[in-house]
Chain A
Amino acid sequence: MPIPPAIYGLFPDPDSAERGMNALNRAGISPRRIVVMSAEPFDGYSFTQMDERTPMPWLAPMGGLVGGILGFLLARLTQEAYPYPLITGGMPLLAAWPTGIITYECTMLGAVLATVATLLISTKLPNWKPKLYDPEVSHGKILIGVLDPSDAARPEIENRLRGAGAEKVKIIGVSPAS
């Protein structure tokens, strides 16, 4: 089974989810092991305030810079690649304005691609086999859970999730024998 042992609760609304999150925090569970899933972004709640640091706003201009340089080189080198000198319409072959246009478009393309790449890499998408998921999330439930809970902590986590208002608490990936 790919799904790791986990215990999670499904909360009907962000307020109860907030309480569930706080309860887990109070239980001293490492934030890294806490999983949150929702069908929409909940800005302004503490349970979503994690992993907010991203280099994306920096990587996009960097991608633009790389794209721009590549575009500039493409425009420049390809025009110089001829076996004989070309003059066209009385214009020099290496003309600033058209090169600028190509450079500009490639800069923008670089920024777009860098953004998308950053998004996909940092969120590890595509990942068609997620470690933990519950379709209830799509129906508006907020999932808050703990990955690899120790056997000892499990009952407490379950209690705390229920106490915070989880409609359901599910345990997966734990064989009855253990």
Chain B
Amino acid sequence: MAHRWGMVIDLDRCTGCEACVVACRAENNIATVGEEQAGLSRAKHWIRVERYYEGEFPDVKVKFQPVLCQQCDAAPCETVCPTFASYHTGEGLNGQIYNRCIGTRYCANACPYEVRFFNFFNPVWDKPLHLQLNPDVSVRTVGVMEKCTFCVQRIKAGEIQAEAEKRELKDGEIRPACVQSCPPEAMVFGDLNDAESRASRLANSRRRTKLLAELGTRPKVTYLQRDSWHGDENA
């Protein structure tokens, strides 16, 4: 059976530290756009940590919510792309083929999660910062959309490695950069078609929610809601 990659994000563990944000940038050759362009809301963060305040001082709460491409099963971005640049891969990922993209930006409008980013200009790395570029990931040119791929280069590398060694992939063997870096291990990545994978089991937690589930996009990212302390009941 084909893999069906999914992710579980435990909001009870997430500390909002942004390790995932920087890991993603480093892994996927996401260019910084600089102060002026960032001021025009054009910074690219394939994963971001959303922060929401609740209440007023002194009864304030803050919650963090990392948002990346939800790799929807029914992805609004895919249907609207006229050139099949956004399409569904055999393993259930919402692929983005940069070469096919002509830059209608329709996918970004259709995406309810706002996880698609556009190259308003050609990316620039001040020399020798270009030496940090990951050779496994293509650099996007001006005029194309880009987005989280679940680090498809890591998925492919893992699959090829397993195939070369004539074995099945082990659960947890493939980890996107964000998952790899996350200090509190709030993110778990795995095959949702494997009922025994950690991601599958966590995705059935009583705390499971899907982001904007009501829109019917059927995301493959599951959020485990922040828990509350039950200790006073035990005490």
Residues of A with Cβ closer than 8 Å to B? 84, 86-91
Q: Name A88's closest neighbour in chain B (CB-CB).
A: B78
Known: A88-B86, A90-B75. 12 other contacts (CB 8 A): A86-B84, A86-B87, A88-B75, A88-B78, A88-B79, A88-B84, A88-B87, A89-B78, A89-B88, A90-B72, A90-B88, A91-B74
Q: Secondary structure at chain A's binding surface: helix, strand, loop or mixed?
A: loop
Which residues of B have CB within 8 Å of A86? 84, 87-88
CB-contact partner of A90 in B74, B80, B86, under 8 A: B74
Partner pick for B77 among A84, A89, A91, CB 8 A cutoff: A89
B76 at the interface (CB under 8 A from A): yes
**Which of chain A's residues have a CB closer than 8 A to the CB of B80?**
89
* Chain A residue contacts of B76, Cβ below 8 A: 89
Which residue from chain A places its CB closest to the CB of B216 in the assembled complex? A90
Contact of A91 among B79, B81, B86, B218 (CB under 8 A): B79
In B179-205, which residues have CB < 8 Å from any A CB?
Answer: none
- Cβ distance A94 to chain B, nearest Cβ, rounded Å: 13
A90, B84: Cβ atoms under 8 Å?
A: no
Closest 6 CB pairs of A and B: A90-B74, A89-B79, A89-B78, A88-B78, A89-B75, A87-B88
B73 CB-CB contact with A under 8 Å: yes
Least Cβ–Cβ distance between B8 and chain A, in angstroms: 21
B74 to A89, Cβ gap below 8 A? yes
- In the complex, how many angstroms separate the beta carbon of A115 from the nearest chain B beta carbon? 30
Query: In the assembly, what is the distance between CA of A71 and CA of B37, in Å?
Result: 44
**Residues of chain B lying within 8 A (CB to CB) of residue A88:** 75, 78-79, 81, 84, 86-88
Which partner residue on chain A sits nearest B110 by CB separation? A89
18 A-B contact pairs sorted by A residue (CB < 8 Å)? A86-B84, A86-B87, A86-B88, A88-B75, A88-B81, A88-B84, A88-B86, A88-B87, A89-B72, A89-B74, A89-B75, A89-B76, A89-B77, A89-B78, A89-B79, A89-B80, A90-B73, A90-B75
Alpha-carbon distance between A84 and B90 when the two chains are bound, in angstroms: 10
B contact residues around A87 at 8 Å (CB): 88
B84 contact set on A, CB distance < 8 A: 86, 88
B47 to chain A minimum Cβ distance, whole angstroms, is 22
* Interface residues in B82-109 (C-beta closer than 8 Å to A): 84, 86-88, 90
Q: When chains A and B are docked, how far (Å) is the Cα of A86 from the Cα of B97?
A: 14
Q: How far is the CA of A86 from the CA of B79 in the complex (A)?
A: 11
What distance in Å separates the Cβ of B211 from its nearest Cβ neighbour in chain A? 17
Q: How far is the CA of A84 from the CA of B97 in the complex (A)?
A: 15
Give B47-89 as 1s and 0s: 1 = Cβ < 8 Å from A's Cβ atoms: 0000000000000000000000000111111111100101110
Tell me, in angstroms, the Cα distance from A84 to B76 when the chains sit together. Answer: 21
* Distance, CA A59 to CA B23, complexed state (A): 65
Name the distance in Å between B229's Cβ and chain A's nearest Cβ.
Answer: 39
Contacts of A84 in B (CB 8 A): 90
> How far apart are A78's CB and chain B's nearest CB, in angstroms?
11
In the complex, what residues of A have CB within 8 A of residue B75's CB?
88-90
CA gap between A89 and B215 in the complex, in Å: 13
A88 to B76, CA, bound (A): 9
Give bound CA distance, A71 to B80, whole Å. Answer: 20
Chain B residue at minimum C-beta to C-beta distance from A79 = B84
Chain A's closest residue to B75 (CB) is A89
B36 CB to closest chain A CB (Å) equals: 35
Nearest opposing residue in chain A for B73, CB measure: A90
Nearest A residue to B76, CB-CB = A89
A89 to B88, CA, bound (A): 7
Residues of A with C-beta under 8 A to B90: 84
Cβ–Cβ < 8 Å partners of A90 in chain B: 72-75, 88, 218
